[in-house]
């Protein structure tokens, strides 16, 4: 149930309360509002209001505050909350810059595609399809040709109930594929939570680490990434153990996921990994039910306040089947396109997908609409 927030509530907030300022009320024609709207980083997305939430345990109070009015709301906050709100505002506006993959540059001022290349026998959507190294290499080059800015190579399935893969086997799966793609000029990342696999992939030519455990699974992972100086994706999963889906219980899904990612960013910074190298992913479908996933989707813009590029991945996931009469994995293209278009509209810089050409076409429509509105 919605409980309204007032400025007097802020003044009397208990010391345990937390503040969250989420961009909302997105606008297509920011030039008509001038200083009454703000831009999300260096994206093509502007917004005219903040959804301000004061959270204390299970008590959540919220208010919709227009951009010019937020300063008076911050002035009403205790200094601890006011400082947190100011940091979130700065995080939203901080330019994200570009990702560099050797001679290739991936610009983050518009949504970019990360193509999913699973070299596993048991992934939920395409297990076994790219088991042969040459078939995987050919598929990776095809993704790059079709519009993937990055090809993400993974050698271990993380579907619910998937068996743990020994790191040596995982390296044998991903290393030759990454080496061939990188040699051919494809911007390549590795999807792994194991430090040894990270090291082998980086040596083979990968330029980005995508870790579903947010560098929690392997105690060496933080040091490996810190020494490598490469970008890293920190994804939310409820468990850092072998089953990342374990323990998915949330009091407030959006804020709980946000808090864990904020804590992992702090841990990375303490280990010598600069925030400018970090990408965040809320982990749609990992230990989350339908209601949890929808809360993350509707509140996606909150993650921009962390000051990092945002990666969103919902390709062919169970959420789509749940909302569409239990549609089979192979029948979820329309839902995948819709969810990634929504993420782009909320400022996501990267979308991770199986269906590259279809997503590329959808994002070109998105870009065309944005361009037309900005010059009208």
Are 348 and 311 contacting, i.e. CB atoms less than 8 angstroms apart?
Answer: yes
Catalytic residue among 194, 216, 317, 332: 317
Q: What share of the chain is helix, strand, coil (3-state, %, to 5)?
A: 45, 20, 35
Distance of alpha carbon 16 from alpha carbon 120, whole angstroms: 45
Separation of CA 29 from chain center: 26
Beta-carbon count within 10 A of 376 CB:
9
Closest CA to 352 of 317, 322, 303: 317
CA quadruple 144, 148, 152, 154: dihedral positive or negative? negative
Rg (CA), the chain: 20
Would you call 317 a catalytic residue per the annotation? yes
* 3-state per-residue secondary structure call for 242-285: CCCCCCCCCCCHHHHHHHHHHHHHHHHHHCCCCHHHEEEECCCC
61 Rama class: left (phi>0) / alpha (psi -120 to 50) / beta = beta
Distance of alpha carbon 207 from alpha carbon 229, whole angstroms: 9
**CB contact set of 357 (below 8 Å; sequence gap of 6+):** 146, 147
Distance of alpha carbon 258 from alpha carbon 306, whole angstroms: 9
Catalytic residue among 193, 264, 277, 352: 352
Pairing of strands 278-281, 232-235: parallel
Distance of alpha carbon 358 from alpha carbon 313, whole angstroms: 15
Query: How many Cα atoms occupy the beta-carbon half-sphere of 300 within 13 Å?
Result: 28
Distance of alpha carbon 333 from alpha carbon 346, whole angstroms: 20
**CB contact set of 375 (below 8 Å; sequence gap of 6+):** none
Distance of alpha carbon 319 from alpha carbon 322, whole angstroms: 5
Would you call 352 a catalytic residue per the annotation? yes
**Active-site residue list:** 317, 352
């Amino acid at each position: 149930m919605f409980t309204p927030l007032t400025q007097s509530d802020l003044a009397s907030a208990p010391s345990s309360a937390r503040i969250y300022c989420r961009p909302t009320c997105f606008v297509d024609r920011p030039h008509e509002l001038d200083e009454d709207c703000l831009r999300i980083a260096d994206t093509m997305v502007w917004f005219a209001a903040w959804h301000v939430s004061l959270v204390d345990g299970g008590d959540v109070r919220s208010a919709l505050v227009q951009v010019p009015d937020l300063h008076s709301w911050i002035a009403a906050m205790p200094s601890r909350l006011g400082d947190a709100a100011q940091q979130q505002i700065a995080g939203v506006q901080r330019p994200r810059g570009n990702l560099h993959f050797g001679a290739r540059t991936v610009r983050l001022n518009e949504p970019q595609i990360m193509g999913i290349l699973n070299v596993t026998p048991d992934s939920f959507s395409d297990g076994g399809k790219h088991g042969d190294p040459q078939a995987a290499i050919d598929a990776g080059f095809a993704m790059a040709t079709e519009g993937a800015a990055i090809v993400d190579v993974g050698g271990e399935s993380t579907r619910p109930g998937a068996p743990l893969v020994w790191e040596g086997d995982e390296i044998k799966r991903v290393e030759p594929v990454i080496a061939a793609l990188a040699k051919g000029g494809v911007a390549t990342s590795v999807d792994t939570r194991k430090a040894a696999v990270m090291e082998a992939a980086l040596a083979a030519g990968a330029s980005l680490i995508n870790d579903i455990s947010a560098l929690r699974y392997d105690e060496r992972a933080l040091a490996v990434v810190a020494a490598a100086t490469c970008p890293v994706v920190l994804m939310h999963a409820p468990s850092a153990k072998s089953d990342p889906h374990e323990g998915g219980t949330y009091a407030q899904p959006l804020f709980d996921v946000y808090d864990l990612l904020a804590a992992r960013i702090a841990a990375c910074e303490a280990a010598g990994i600069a925030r400018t190298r970090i990408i965040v992913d809320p982990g749609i479908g990992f230990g989350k039910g339908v209601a949890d996933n929808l809360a993350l989707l509707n509140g996606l813009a909150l993650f921009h306040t962390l000051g990092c590029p945002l990666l969103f991945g919902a390709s062919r996931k169970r959420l789509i089947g749940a909302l569409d009469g239990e549609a089979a994995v192979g029948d979820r293209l329309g839902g995948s396109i819709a969810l990634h278009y929504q993420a782009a509209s909320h400022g996501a810089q990267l979308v991770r997908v199986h269906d590259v050409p279809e997503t590329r076409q959808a994002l070109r429509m998105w870009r065309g609409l944005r361009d037309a509105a900005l010059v009208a």
